[in-house]
Amino acid sequence: MEKPKQHIFVCSSSRINGQQQGVCMKKDSIQILANFMEEIEDRELEDEVMLSNTGCFANCEEGPIVLVYPEGIWYGKVTPGDVEEIMDSHIENGEVVERLKI
């Protein structure tokens, strides 16, 4: 893959030792990742959008956290059901989802 146009990071509460624990993992971050993967594939954006899971962003009270670059937009309290809206509004139309922005 060449440099993607956008990069989506999802906190999956993974620790340095590889174990997943914490707020984001307990609040469906793995399903959020899966939903983003599915949406990216369904929209055929694999060459434009990269998806990565991350360790803790140290903002647990706002978790699950999704971060979109290059814009540097942080979304908080994201649910699996919010993924389609983030993809529609932000990724495809360049409009920040204000209700989730932190």
Would you give the distance in Å from CA 59 to the centre of its chain? 14
Residue 1 has pLDDT above 80, yes or no: no
Tokens of 62: 């706002």
Query: How is 62-102 classified by DSSP, letter by letter?
Result: GPSPEEEETTTEEE-S--GGGHHHHIIIIIIT----TTTB-
Q: What is the DSSP letter of 21?
A: -
pLDDT tens per residue, range 16-70: 666 666 788 888 999 999 999 999 999 999 999 999 999 888 888 999 999 999 9
Domain boundaries, the chain: 6-92
Task: Enter the pTM of the model.
Answer: 0.91
Q: Which CATH superfamily is domain 6-92 in?
A: Glutaredoxin (3.40.30.10)
